[in-house]
Amino acid sequence: MEDRNVWTLAEKSEGKLRQVSFEVLARGRKLADSLGVSLASVIMGYNMSGDELGQLIYRGADIVYVVDDPELDYFIVENYSNVLVDLVRAYRPDIIIAGATTSGRTLMPHAAVRLATGLTADCTKLDIEKDTGNLLQTRPAIGGNIMATIKTPGSRPQMATVRVRSTKPAPVDRKRTGRIIKVKLKAGLLDGRSKRIGFRKIEDEKASIQDADIIVSGGKGLKKKENFYLIYELAKTLDGSVGASRDAVDRGWISYPHQVGLSGKTVSPKLYIAIGISGAIQHLAGIKTSDTIVAINSDPDAQIFKISDFGIVADLFEAVPLVIERLKKYEL
């Protein structure tokens, strides 16, 4: 038995571990250290290499549970849920966390209902309550206007999904050692009612901002949709992606896939430029892990300046064209 351990769920795509696997490991490592227990990573899939599994050890896992089978090559929630529930009942972890990805948001509630336990979705912060050892799960509520902290004191395991890009991936430490435990898939765990017949991306790949190194975002300070050309031009000059505040999306100036913040997408680019964005709490929480934040706003008291590395207090309609002109001059 591995009672009271912390588990994280790893994900793969096209045979490779997704970055979110390492993000949740970073979260899990802190929780496990606080409790003084082991950290395990669970991965389900097919034909996973030893090098890939070793990455989970190097990034913080003490144990890796591997369920490798052709029937698990593609994510089917019923099959993955059956496997996860079976593992939980065998090893009895105290905490399970996963990324709030499409599969994480599908698998975790499915398993939580069957385990008769609680689940908090889209957490931005996780901590351990000192006196009880309960998992403190913080997430936005009331449309992102407040941050609520939730506990699951009466049932186990405690389960949560965390926002993608809300934390930095765990660093690689090749001196770390751990156990890789291969678990054979039980035939009775295959549901059989669902099968994958194809895959079609819904979102335009160009609109995806979560993997961008550079993001230029516009807010209501742009005043109208037509002025968003400034954001597109600056993003093009920097070879970056276009983002937007919730206000800009709500006004119909740009589509939802570009929305940055807790009510949109959490991002972690090398450079984030906020133009005409005042800095609502849900927007700030969605960009806080960016390496460098630059803000352009005419209001010197705007909240965005409190977390910016560089701030320009100016009329954006004067400042942005000058920035674009200077960048083009130096052919950046």
d(CA 317, CA 229): 11
Residue 302's pLDDT band, with cuts at 50, 70 and 90, is very high
pLDDT over threshold 60, residue 2: no
- Percentage of the chain modeled with pLDDT above 90: 69
pLDDT in tens, 199-235: 776 555 445 788 789 999 999 999 999 999 999 999 9
Within 13 Å, how many C-alpha atoms sit on residue 329's CB side?
6
pLDDT in tens, 82-130: 999 999 999 999 999 999 988 999 999 999 999 999 999 989 899 999 8
- pLDDT on residue 286: 87
- Percentage of the chain modeled with pLDDT above 70: 95
Name the one residue in this structure whose structure tokens are 């019923």: 78
d(CA 110, CA 10): 17
- pLDDT on residue 263: 78
Residue 31's pLDDT band, with cuts at 50, 70 and 90, is very high
DSSP characters over 254-265: S-GGGBBSTTSB
The 10 Å Cβ neighbour count of residue 245 is 33
The 10 Å Cβ neighbour count of residue 218 is 31
Report which of 221, 271, 268 is spatially closest to residue 247, judged by C-alpha positions: 221
Superfamily for domain range 6-189: HUPs (3.40.50.620)
Superfamily for domain range 205-329: TPP-binding domain (3.40.50.1220)
List every span in the chain annotated with CATH 3.40.50.1220: 205-329
d(CA 224, CA 254): 11
- pLDDT on residue 55: 94
Residue 66's pLDDT band, with cuts at 50, 70 and 90, is very high
pLDDT in tens, 244-292: 999 999 999 999 989 998 778 888 899 999 999 999 888 998 898 898 9
- Strand stretches in the chain, DSSP E: 6-9, 12-13, 16-17, 39-45, 63-68, 95-99, 119-123, 125-128, 135-141, 146-150, 158-162, 179-182, 214-218, 241-244, 271-275, 292-297, 310-313
Of 231 and 13, the one with more pLDDT: 231
Q: What is the mean pLDDT of the chain?
A: 90
Residues in the chain: 332
d(CA 123, CA 235): 30
- pLDDT on residue 274: 96
List every span in the chain annotated with CATH 3.40.50.620: 6-189
Mean per-residue pLDDT, 22-47: 95
- pLDDT on residue 1: 46
d(CA 302, CA 316): 14
